[in-house]
């Protein structure tokens, strides 16, 4: 039984959306529940939480006083550092997970399209929905993914966690007012340094990614141009003679030079000719002034930038002035 195209398309979109939603809700369960989920935490709280207050009452045996205040400030700073560690580790995990998600969606789409080969008349439109939906989804996960950023987040989380452990170790050995304040200040500085370092790395990574994207686009254009030049050729002139100002068509069999209209240059001998129209398989131009009064015939050449398109025969086409 064949499904109607529009019905098949709707079913496929629902299937893809459902798979993505289920994946988001079930993957990395420890990450989804984290408070900040990769977002930079707020500034250090001014008012201590109830948990910190109770902890310091137990640790110092006081509910007020300088030692108690130092203890509160220290553990507030520890809690703040913990939030950054959770945030950065969750962001690194998300980036790593998105690599697999993007690949899984792409492979799933490929398998689906392969299966549609026997789906009859519904196949073409359904395949269109699959390719558009899966292309957006895998592209979205690709946008989230950045291996370099994942490394930055992991390093920042590790360094903050190390600084936090060192501070706690110092306090455990000497629970005095001075030590609490000393380690709170030291930890605050270390966390701030690492946060600023990460922000700088993110900015530089974004700039490098933009440059890399531009280079990638340029390489694709160069590859396309090389492919065009390898397949392009120039053939006969129609007509092969005329006078200054006449329009002549140069055949370019098997090539489409329209994308390179701004880079095309046509020469009659060494004289540039005005190109009036570029079509699939041909280029029209006006015959320029005769280069040399005593010479009637000239070779016609066509260039894309500084590269000359080869003739389809053994010799370049020739234009004869009337």
- Quick: pLDDT tens for 206-264: 777 666 677 677 677 777 766 766 778 899 999 999 999 999 999 998 788 888 888 89
Residues 35 and 10 in one domain: yes
Residue 232, domain member (yes or no): no
Buried-state track 35-60, b at ≥16 Cβ within 10 A, e below 16: eeebeebeebeeebeeebbeebeebb
Three-state SS for 295? coil
Residue 241, domain member (yes or no): yes
Among residues 56, 67, 60, 46, which one has the least CA distance to residue 180? 67
| Calpha distance 173→176 (Å, rounded) | 9
Per DSSP, helices labelled H in 117-246 are: 123-144, 147-173, 177-231
Indicate which CATH number applies to the domain containing 275: 2.60.40.10
Indicate the residue among 157, 192, 226 that finishes a domain: 226
Residue 275, domain member (yes or no): yes
Most distant CA atoms of the chain, gap in Å: 113
Domain count across the chain: 2
Report residue 94's pLDDT band, with 50, 70 and 90 as the boundaries: low
| Residue 55, H or E segment | helix 50-60
Long-range contacts, stretch 40-48, CB < 8 angstroms, 24+ apart: 40/84, 40/87, 40/195, 41/80, 41/83, 41/84, 41/87, 44/76, 44/77, 44/80, 44/188, 45/76, 45/79, 45/80, 48/72, 48/75, 48/76
Region 178-203 average pLDDT: 89
Residues 45 and 122 in one domain: yes
Quickly count helices (H) and strands (E) in the chain: 7, 9
For the entire predicted model, the pTM comes to 0.46
Indicate the residue among 169, 201, 226 that finishes a domain: 226
Region 21-29 average pLDDT: 41
Decide: 63 and 57 in contact? Cβ < 8 Å: yes
| Cα 99 → chain centroid | 13
> Does the pLDDT value for residue 272 go beyond 90?
yes
User: DSSP character for 260?
Assistant: G
Domain that residue 243 falls in: 237-321
Residues 6+ positions from 212 with CB-CB distance below 8 Å: none
Among residues 284, 267, 73, 304, which one has the least CA distance to residue 188? 73
Residue 231, domain member (yes or no): no
Report residue 34's pLDDT band, with 50, 70 and 90 as the boundaries: very low
Torsion of the alpha carbons at 55, 57, 58 and 60, rounded to the nearest 10: 110
Report residue 137's pLDDT band, with 50, 70 and 90 as the boundaries: very low
DSSP per residue, 115-139: HGGGSGGGHHHHHHHHHHHHHHHHH
- Per-residue pLDDT, 11: 44
| Calpha distance 102→116 (Å, rounded) | 21
Residue 188, domain member (yes or no): yes
* Residue 182 bridge partners (DSSP): none
Indicate the residue among 180, 207, 226 that finishes a domain: 226
- Per-residue pLDDT, 242: 95
| Each residue's pLDDT tens digit, 139-184 | 444 444 466 777 788 888 899 999 999 999 999 989 999 999 999 9
Residues 13 and 136 in one domain: yes
Residues 142 and 47 in one domain: yes
Residues 186 and 256 in one domain: no
| Calpha distance 257→255 (Å, rounded) | 6
Residues 179 and 309 in one domain: no
Residues 74 and 118 in one domain: yes
Residues 58 and 138 in one domain: yes
Residues 222 and 241 in one domain: no
Residues 140 and 200 in one domain: yes
- Per-residue pLDDT, 46: 67
Residues 22 and 126 in one domain: yes
Residues 244 and 214 in one domain: no
Report residue 42's pLDDT band, with 50, 70 and 90 as the boundaries: low
> Does the pLDDT value for residue 27 go beyond 50?
no
Residue 53, domain member (yes or no): yes
């Amino acid at each position: 039984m064949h499904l109607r195209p529009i019905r098949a398309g709707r079913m496929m979109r629902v299937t893809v959306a459902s798979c993505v939603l289920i994946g988001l809700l079930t993957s990395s369960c420890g990450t989804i529940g984290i408070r900040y989920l990769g977002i930079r935490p707020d500034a250090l709280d001014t008012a201590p939480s109830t948990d910190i207050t109770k902890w310091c009452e137990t640790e110092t045996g006081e509910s007020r006083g300088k030692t108690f205040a130092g203890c509160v400030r220290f553990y507030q700073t520890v809690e703040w550092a913990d939030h950054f560690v959770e945030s950065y580790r969750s962001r690194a995990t998300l980036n790593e997970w998105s690599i697999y998600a993007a690949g899984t969606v792409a492979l799933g789409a490929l398998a689906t399209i392969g299966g549609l080969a026997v789906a009859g008349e519904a196949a073409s439109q359904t395949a269109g929905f699959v390719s558009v939906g899966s292309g957006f989804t895998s592209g979205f996960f690709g946008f989230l993914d950045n291996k370099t950023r994942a490394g930055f987040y992991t390093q920042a989380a590790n360094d903050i966690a190390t600084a936090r452990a060192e501070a706690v170790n110092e306090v455990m050995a000497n629970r005095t007012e001075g030590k609490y304040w000393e380690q709170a200040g030291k930890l605050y500085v270390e966390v701030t340094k690492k946060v600023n370092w990460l922000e700088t790395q993110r900015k530089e990574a974004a700039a490098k990614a933009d440059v890399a994207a531009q280079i990638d686009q340029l390489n694709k254009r160069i590859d396309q141009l090389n492919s065009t030049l390898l397949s392009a050729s120039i053939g006969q002139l129609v007509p092969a003679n005329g006078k200054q100002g006449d329009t002549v068509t140069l055949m370019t069999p098997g090539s489409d030079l329209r994308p390179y209209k701004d880079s095309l240059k046509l020469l009659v001998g060494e004289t540039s000719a005005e190109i009036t129209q570029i079509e699939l398989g041909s280029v029209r131009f006006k015959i320029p002034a005769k280069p040399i009064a005593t010479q009637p015939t000239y070779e016609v050449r066509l260039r894309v930038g500084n590269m000359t398109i080869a003739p389809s025969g053994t010799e370049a086409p020739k234009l004869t002035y009337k």
